[in-house]
Amino acid sequence: MKPATLALLALLPAPAFAGYECTATQQCGGGTCEAYAGGPFLIEEAGDVWRVSTDGQAWEGYLTTTMDAGGEVSIVLPPQNGMSGLVSIFPSGEFLFTAHAYGQGAVAITGSGNCAGDGG
């Protein structure tokens, strides 16, 4: 009886994880803006955290609001891998990425672009 129960559980639908693929078109920092030359931002729900990755770097963050609750997806990235940040994805598909870091002084870099995905 036990193997049959496990087989039935395996057939139950699992919750789908949300995700986005975002293309940044512009980045700004130090008072100037330029075209963003990096790869796409992959933003994926991974259990209790959201994983944000681009160009071989990855950060884990926490959802602070959803489209349904706040009109945008908002993911805060606590300090890790030399930076902290915030990702906002709006119902229009537009997104903003802000990174804060400290090197030879405090630095803030923002990026903007568009996303495609199945929501969050």
pTM summary value: 0.80
Number of Cβ within 10 Å of residue 113's Cβ equals 18
Q: Render pLDDT for 37-46 as a digit per residue (tens, 0 to 9).
A: 999 999 999 9
> Is the pLDDT assigned to residue 119 strictly greater than 70?
no
- Give the pLDDT of residue 21: 96
Instruction: Give the confidence band of 88 by pLDDT, cuts at 50, 70, 90.
Output: very high
Q: Distance between CA atoms of 107 and 4, rounded to whole angstroms?
A: 57
**Alpha helices (runs of H) in 1-120, residue ranges in sequence order:** 2-11, 67-70
Cα atoms in the Cβ-side hemisphere of radius 13 Å centred on 39: 9
Report CA torsion sign: 35, 108, 101, 107.
positive
77: pLDDT strictly greater than 90: yes
